[in-house]
Structure 1
């Protein structure tokens, strides 16, 4: 054997088995992935929700521990089944302590509201009283003037009724003369009667008996200083002639004609007859034609009593309201002149 040859020694070592590798890291990793998935799912849901829903969620997170329903039931967004429920309203229930605090606040508010309502009532009353005083100041009529005016109209009413009963000229037509009191003053209405009309058919020409009635009434009304308003009324029957010819000097004009024109012409014819009877022309305040817009008998639009003349002896308030008494109430002349001059 060669002395230089080294012996080969084989050493066998028995290795022990490794301990079992655990799976704890897998659980942690799974939790992390689940949390990330839940986070991105939440972001996706929030991105598709409305502004009010996001406000409701924010309100919930401000006080999540105190948010309980009836009987202690939880109203958490995440239900026990694992599904995510977004609240539909931003008005979530509040904690009991907060409810008690708010109830006291609401009582205080209700007391404040009652006080403010009483103050508003006082303000409204004072405003209405101020309006009445303002209206009186605009009209410029004192209580004594109103009382004197009412006394004159009451006396005139008695005179008219007495004249209708005792006068031979008026008593024959008393079934066609009606007198009543309106907010505007004392009203005398002369109505048509079957077989006894006031005017010729479709005409503004007065019958003889109508002229007599107007002259007699005009003399009595002239005893008071009040202005009068004369209104003509027709029934609902359409005017027979659509056009009439009106004379203007040496030529005639073809003019459209209806119940509006007819009622106005009849009122003006009554005005002329009142003046002939002795009424001062300056006391005529208004001459109006109303056609069939105000029917006496609405159930029978074509009834003869709808064809009438209304004469209203105006009270002072109405005279001022429509501007018949110069310098009393309404827009002042100096203000009109000032505005026109400024332009």
Structure 2
């Protein structure tokens, strides 16, 4: 049949094209299988984690965790100054190591007291100081006068060795006021100190300390010369007690630069003699 003629303003009929896409496999394709495999893998890992938590000890779990932690090289690279100009951490900043000192330190290293040897031999020094304390206490208990002086003696373990501090107070003075002359009580006290130090090996250092009380006008002496002179007077008293001259390592005076009572420089307890038996 012949088509009727189309008018001038009549639109042409639309042409519909139907495209059929054929998916290989359809519902039987492999996309859902990948998702299901991921789900099963995640569930297996989850149940494996639950099994590890229940079947291992705290120490074993810590070992497993340490195995999977990043290495120190990687952590150090992340904390170093490598992110542009001045873009890194300061040298005083805490490192981001997993076991840095800022987040650990809950357990201390315990050294048995009867242990000897090593570069510092800390346990041997403890035994030595305890022995010296016992010997000195026995000597100070011989007379009533020495027992009263026991409170003036302080024995501490330092990095340089065992230090014995002979400290003044309001009722006791090692030296006559403003001089290097030992008082009779101080001589008795130094005799007991000498008998304690003499059997022990090691060199001896003596340091003199003063308070910060000012001197009278016109006097040429000062706290530096006074502290050094008192240290020398103590050395001579120790030598008279029996300590050999070649055992002395250092004699010095530090005036009022190393105060015992920091908030009161004129406190009499700042006047003291420190005798150190080196390691």
Q: So what's the TM-score if we normalise by structure 2?
A: 0.55
> Secondary structure of the residue that 2:256 maps to in structure 1?
coil
1: distance between equivalents of 2:164 and 2:236? 17
Equivalent residue for 1:212, pick from 170, 184, 188: 188
Measure, in 2, the Cα distance between the counterparts of 1:217 and 1:169.
Answer: 15
Q: 1:114 aligns with which of 63, 70, 74?
A: 74
**Over residues 168-221 of structure 1, what are the superposed CA-to-partner deviations in whole Å (9 max), with x where a residue is unaligned?**
452121122222222222111111122432211111111111111111211111
1:165 Cα deviation after fit: 3.9
Distance 1:209 1:155, change over 3 A: same
User: Which of 237, 243, 252 is the matching residue for 1:279?
Assistant: 243
Match of residue 184, structure 1, among 157, 160, 177: 160
Counterpart of 1:41? none
Q: Which residue of 2 aligns with 1:156?
A: 132
- State whether structure 2 residue 214 is matched by structure 1 residue 270: no
- Between Structure 1 and Structure 2, which shows a larger proportion of helix residues? 1
- Structure 2 residue aligned with 1:260: 224
1:290 corresponds to 2:265: no
CA contact (8 A) 1:179 1:188 kept: yes
Larger Rg: 1
Query: Which residue of structure 2 aligns with residue 302 of structure 1?
Result: 266
Structure 2 matches for 1:27-106, cutoff 5 A? none
For residue 295 of structure 1, give the secondary structure of its aligned residue in structure 2: coil
CA contact (8 A) 2:207 2:231 kept: yes
TM-score by length of structure 1 reads 0.45
User: Which consecutive unaligned segments of at least 5 residues does structure 2 have?
Assistant: 1-70, 81-94, 96-116
Distance 1:223 1:168, change over 3 A: farther
SS at 2:181's partner residue? coil
Q: What secondary structure sits across from 1:183 in the alignment? A: coil
Cα distance in structure 1, aligned partners of 2:187 and 2:129:
24
Deviation of residue 145 (structure 1)?
Answer: 7.5
Q: Kindly indicate whether the alpha-carbon contact (under 8 Å) linking 1:202 and 1:240 is maintained by their aligned counterparts in 2.
A: no
| RMSD of aligned residue pairs (Cα, Å) | 3.1
Residues 227, 253 of structure 2: 8 Å contact kept:
yes
CA distance in 1, matches of 2:239, 2:232: 11
